[in-house]
Structures are given as C-alpha cells and as structure tokens.
C-alpha cells in the first residue's frame, strides 16, 4: 500500500498538496475528500481535480517564462 501511495505522490499532479498548503489543511484530508466525493457523485470531482491540475501546470510555466524575462 505504501508503494502505491508513493507512486501517486511522485507522479500525480500535486493538486491536493497545493490546496493543502494554500488552505493549511492536511493533504490526506483533501485526498479523502476527493475520494469520498467521487464515490458520491460518480466521478465528477475528477473533472475538478484535472482542471485544477491544468491550472497549476499552466501557472508554473507562466511563472517560469516570466522569471526568464527579467533575468
């Protein structure tokens, strides 16, 4: 079980971690929230998760490009 968790933490998008840092909530609580909500709503939070992952990825690239302009 620990190997599976390590795999997802390494290769997942980091949405739960980023939300946890911003909201000062444990990452495990956010992950459980997404899991329970996915079961209750037949997977629709997965779309929210992927949209947040896309936004985080785009923001990371924009910041990198913006920092290169000024150095």
The reply to whether the predicted model has a pTM over 0.85 is: no
How much is the mean pLDDT over the chain? Answer: 77
Over the Cα atoms of the chain, what is R_g? 14
The three-state secondary structure class of 62 is helix
- Burial of residue 48 (CB within 10 Å: 0-12, 13-18, 19+) is middle
- Residue 1 is predicted with a pLDDT of 61
Are the beta carbons of 31 and 16 closer than 8 angstroms?
Answer: yes
Q: How far apart (Å, rounded) are the C-alpha atoms in residues 38 and 57?
A: 22
């Amino acid at each position: 079980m620990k190997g599976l968790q390590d795999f997802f933490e390494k290769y997942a998008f980091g949405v739960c971690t980023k939300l946890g840092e911003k909201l000062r909530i444990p990452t495990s609580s956010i992950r459980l929230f997404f899991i329970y909500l996915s079961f209750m709503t037949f997977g629709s939070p997965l779309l929210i998760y992927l949209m947040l992952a896309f936004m985080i990825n785009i923001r990371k690239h924009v910041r990198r490009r913006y920092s290169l302009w000024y150095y």
